[in-house]
Amino acid sequence: SYVLTQPPSVSVAPGKTARITCGGNNIGSKSVHWYQQKPGQAPVLVIYYDSDRPSGIPERFSGSNSGNTATLTISRVEAGDEADYYCQVWDSSSDHPVVFGGGTKLTVL
Amino acid sequence: EVQLVESGGGLVQPGGSLRLSCAASGFTFSSYAMSWVRQAPGKGLEWVSAISGSGGSTYYADSVKGRFTISRDNSKNTLYLQMNSLRAEDTAVYYCAKGVAVAGWSYYYMDVWGKGTTVTVSS
């Protein structure tokens, strides 16, 4: 089955840029989606189709996807961005096709 | 406003059964795929099951296949998850999520999530 690999944690100072990676075999051929989850809350979609933002998500959030790595980039990081972030794809070759990465805890220093 | 409200969680003994419900409002329910996603205490998100808008296609994680059944009643705008033969490892918060597959299943993502319902499997 398809595996998505994320770093367990990423730390960044306020105002700097955070990059959270999601690795997978030829992930560039898949559509990657990203979710933000704050403690005690349900996940929120922040990026879909690799780089599209839902309405209400700040332009500071952006995404890219190429080769074996997809990346969620958060510019001008704010304290309120501290959360867990998960990538997700659909694996068409599997009969259990929705795959999440293990999640990355973003800490704002 | 799009809203998803889960219910039916609780404490159940190992081997027992539970049926979760998810009441949807604010969108044309029958036009959208739906998913259940769970999160064990202190762990990451785990997709459980998905169902197409018509209910004709269903998908399951290996960990629940044969034990859980996803279904929907489009006349009631409600999604269900029947959980049988429950195990301690099924203990989690279960989220209902509205799916988007307008570009095809290969582009599937979940754009709205409920607040979740807690299932605890313990003797």
Instruction: Give B123's pLDDT tier (boundaries 50, 70, 90).
Output: very high
Does the pLDDT of residue B55 top 90, yes or no?
yes
d(CA B113, CA A42): 6
Instruction: Give A94's pLDDT tier (boundaries 50, 70, 90).
Output: confident
The shortest C-alpha distance from A42 to chain B (Å) reads: 5
φ and ψ of B21, to 5 deg = -125, 155
Find, in chain B, the residue whose alpha carbon is nearest to that of A6.
Answer: B44
Name the region of B71 (left: φ>0; alpha: ψ -120 to 50; beta: rest). Answer: beta
Report the pLDDT value the prediction gives residue B20, as an integer from 0 to 100.
98
Interface size, chain A vs chain B, as Cβ–Cβ contacts under 8 Å: 73
Sort out which chain A residues have CB atoms less than 8 A from B105's CB and list them. Answer: 90, 92, 97
| Contact flag A42-B113 (C-beta cutoff 8 Å) | yes
Q: Which residue has the higher pLDDT, B39 or A92?
A: B39
Does the pLDDT of residue A2 top 90, yes or no?
yes
Does the pLDDT of residue B106 top 90, yes or no?
no
Does the pLDDT of residue B74 top 90, yes or no?
yes
| Polymer length in residues for chain A | 109
Q: With an 8 Å Cβ cutoff, is A63 touching chain B?
A: no
Q: Which of A57, A55, A87 is nearest to A72 (CA)?
A: A87
Sort out which chain A residues have CB atoms less than 8 A from B59's CB and list them. Answer: 95-98
Percent of chain B exceeding pLDDT 90 equals 94
* Cα torsion angle, B27, B29, B33, B39, sign: positive
| Contact flag A92-B45 (C-beta cutoff 8 Å) | no
Report the pLDDT value the prediction gives residue B86, as an integer from 0 to 100.
98
Taking only the tens place, the pLDDT of each residue in A10-39 is 999 999 999 999 999 999 999 999 999 999
Residue matched to tokens 């027992």: B16
Instruction: Give B24's pLDDT tier (boundaries 50, 70, 90).
Output: very high
φ and ψ of B29, to 5 deg = -55, -45
Q: Which of B106, B110, B93 is nearest to B33 (CA)?
A: B110
Are A36 and A50 contacting, i.e. CB atoms less than 8 angstroms apart? no
Interface test with B, best of A4, A41, A98 (most B CBs within 10 A): A98
Does the pLDDT of residue B103 top 90, yes or no?
no
Q: With an 8 Å Cβ cutoff, is A42 touching chain B?
A: yes
d(CA A34, CA B46): 14
Q: What would you measure as the largest C-alpha separation in chain A, in angstroms?
A: 42
Q: Which two tokens mark B103?
A: 């570009």
Q: Compute the average pLDDT of residues B24-43.
A: 97
Within 10 angstroms of residue B85's Cβ, the number of other Cβ atoms is 13
d(CA A52, CA A41): 23
d(CA A48, CA A63): 8
Mean pLDDT score of chain A: 97
B92-100 and B34-39 beta bridge pairing:
antiparallel
Does the pLDDT of residue B102 top 90, yes or no?
no
Spacing of C-alpha B84 from chain mean position? 14
φ and ψ of B102, to 5 deg = -65, -30
Among the partner residues A90, A102, A103, nearest to B106 by beta-carbon distance: A90
Cα–Cα separations (whole angstroms), residue A5 to A67, A69, A74, A86, B90: 14, 9, 19, 10, 23
Report the pLDDT value the prediction gives residue B87, as an integer from 0 to 100.
98
Q: Compute the average pLDDT of residues B38-44.
A: 98
Taking only the tens place, the pLDDT of each residue in A48-71 is 999 999 999 999 999 999 999 999
Report the pLDDT value the prediction gives residue A95, as an integer from 0 to 100.
82
Q: Compute the average pLDDT of residues B45-61.
A: 95
